[in-house]
């Protein structure tokens, strides 16, 4: 394949793990030259060049920002530990470092996307939540994510915040494991999910839409069918032909809300997996084959 570098945009993915790799794989290599940053990166992939970088350290991030002249930057992070300090370092400090570096070297990417989470919402009454709903998180994760969002929003950079609901897909089969091991919850609380391929698809869609039309500041990204946890695990158990899959003491998932994806769908994005059944059906087949 012949690639014309003069027509390519430079795209940087900070914290380039599974979702970042899926995003890079979906983008046209004739249009985008993708660089991924990780503390301990894997071998370069055909569609992605990795660089070693701890984005929580300005001395490592700023030289890359200064020399890269990136057109698009995607911030897709995973904290080193699930704690308030871990989230503060990963999300808040990285965003502070990025904004400071871009300003110091007078870099103006056409778009900065921050990957956030619906954890910024604390609604617990089964109500619908959209981009206009109050964000009053009661967890450290939601509070730190919201703090990081606000750093990007106040930066003066062209930006977009994407709040994903619970991500599932290859390598993210915890719920299937719970069902198989008889540890599933009978909770009637609503859960919200999105397949990893749709996460990458949403990011690619927004990157490609932005030159043609103005993006909203925030998008909620979830499938079109919020469902009670009991409905989800019961369906899984039927697919696996399991009769005993519930645990009386199983902890319920946090929250009880229904995420609206209408703004995202209105932007023209078409979900690959519109509900948990279509996404998990493929995973269950692969899971059964490999186990």
pLDDT tens, position by position, 260-290: 999 999 999 999 999 999 999 989 988 776 6
Given a contact cutoff of 8 angstroms between Cβ atoms, the answer to whether 139 and 111 are in contact is: no
**159-164 and 111-117 strand pairing:** parallel
| pLDDT tens digits for range 4-40 | 455 799 999 999 999 999 999 999 999 999 999 999 9
Is residue 2 scored above 80 in pLDDT? Answer: no
Reported as a single tens digit per residue, the pLDDT across 94-148 is: 999 999 999 999 999 999 999 999 999 999 999 999 999 999 999 999 999 999 9
Q: To 5 degrees, how large is the angle CA 275–CA 276–CA 280?
A: 130
How would CATH label the architecture of 7-171+194-223+258-272? 3-Layer(aba) Sandwich (3.40)
What are the sequence ranges of the domains in the chain? 7-171+194-223+258-272
**Burial class of residue 102 in the structure, from the number of CB atoms within 10 Å of its CB (0-12 exposed, 13-18 middle, 19+ buried):** buried
Question: What pLDDT is attached to residue 158?
Answer: 96
Query: What are the start-end ranges of the H helices in the chain?
Result: 18-26, 58-68, 84-87, 94-104, 140-153, 174-180, 196-209, 229-240, 262-266, 276-290
Average pLDDT for the chain: 94
Q: What pLDDT was estimated at residue 4?
A: 43
pTM higher than 0.85, yes or no? yes
- The residue-averaged pLDDT of 242-246 equals 93
Coil, helix or strand for 114?
strand
In terms of Cα–Cα distance, which of 227, 221, 228 is closest to 261?
Answer: 221
212-to-109, 110, 215, 229, 267 alpha-carbon distances in Å:
16, 12, 9, 39, 11
CA of 163: how far to CAs of 75, 103, 269, in Å?
12, 25, 15
């Amino acid at each position: 394949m012949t690639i014309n570098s003069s027509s390519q945009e430079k795209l940087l993915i900070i914290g380039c793990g599974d979702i970042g790799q899926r995003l890079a794989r979906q983008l046209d290599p004739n249009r985008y030259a993708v660089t991924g940053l990780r503390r301990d990166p894997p071998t370069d992939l055909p569609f992605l060049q990795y660089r070693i970088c701890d984005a929580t350290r300005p001395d490592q991030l700023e030289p890359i920002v200064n020399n890269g002249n990136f057109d698009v930057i995607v911030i897709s992070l995973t904290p080193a530990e699930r704690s308030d300090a871990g989230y503060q370092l990963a999300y808040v400090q990285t965003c502070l470092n990025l904004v400071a570096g871009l300003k110091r070297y007078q870099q103006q990417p056409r778009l900065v996307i921050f990957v956030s989470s619906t954890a910024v919402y604390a609604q617990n009454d089964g109500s619908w939540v959209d981009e206009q709903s109050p964000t009053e998180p009661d967890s450290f994760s939601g509070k730190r994510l919201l703090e990081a969002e606000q750093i990007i929003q106040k930066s003066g950079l062209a930006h977009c915040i994407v709040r994903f609901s619970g991500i599932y897909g290859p390598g993210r089969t915890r719920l299937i494991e719970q069902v198989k091991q008889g540890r599933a919850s009978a909770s009637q609380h609503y859960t919200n999910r999105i397949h990893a391929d749709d996460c990458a698809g949403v990011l690619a869609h927004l990157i490609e839409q932005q030159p043609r039309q103005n993006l909203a500041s925030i998008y909620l990204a979830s499938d079109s069918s919020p469902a009670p946890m009991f409905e989800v695990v019961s369906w899984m158990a039927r697919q696996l032909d399991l009769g005993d899959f519930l645990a009386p003491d199983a902890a319920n998932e946090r929250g009880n809300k229904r995420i609206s994806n209408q703004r995202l769908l209105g932007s023209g994005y078409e979900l690959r997996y519109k509900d948990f059944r279509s996404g998990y059906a493929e995973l269950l087949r692969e899971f059964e084959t490999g186990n």
